[in-house]
Amino acid sequence: MPVDPHINVAKDSDLSPMGIYRLLPQTNCKICGETCMSFAFKLLKKEITLGKCTPLYEEEEYEEDRKALEEMLRPLMEAEMTETGLVIHEDLCFGCGNCVVACPVNVAEDPKGCAIGNGPTSDKVILKVENGKVKAANIESCRRFGEHRILCNACITPCPAKAIEFPGG
């Protein structure tokens, strides 16, 4: 049963299961496969990603709490973040290669390897599957990098495992 929504504090910086829980929808809908509380524990242990809670992204009423959660979780992600904010959750990635063929930089740098799905052969690509997990390189070529960066999401949306994210938005 949801707890009193008045305990939600959008700017809560308490990086703890309860601090996270307070900013979740608290509906226990189990779309993520967990209850809200176990989702909070798993987020803290980096066993699940925020994107698995789809109501946070799809329902306007949760937008403020989602942004607060992204901010709260940022320190947890920073160790794994590239300079563009890209985080790859290797524990979730199963090497399907969807992101590899979807990245416009990959396709531009290696049209034969990426566009027809053979896998990249160029060393200029950003995303490449190695030993069943995707790895990032040449991150300065990413469209989110530098002065003229854009909010490219091409590698995030086709990932069935929600293994790629940009926690900073």
Using rule CB under 6 A, residue 36 touches ligand SF4: yes
Q: Give just the sign of the alpha carbon dihedral 134, 139, 141, 142.
A: positive
Q: From the list 107, 109, 155, 167, which residue makes contact with ligand SF4 (rule: CB under 6 A)?
A: 155
In the region spanning residues 54 to 83, those forming contacts with ligand SF4, defined by CB under 6 A, are 55
Is the CB of 68 or the CB of 159 nearer to ligand SF4?
159
Q: How many angstroms separate the Cα of 150 from the Cα of each of 4, 110, 112, 146?
A: 39, 21, 25, 9
Q: What are the DSSP E strand ranges found in 58-159?
A: 87-88, 127-130, 133-136
Q: Which residues bind ligand SF4 (CB under 6 A)?
A: 24-25, 27-32, 34-36, 39, 53, 55, 93-99, 103-105, 126-127, 129, 134, 142-144, 152, 154-155, 158-159, 161, 163-164
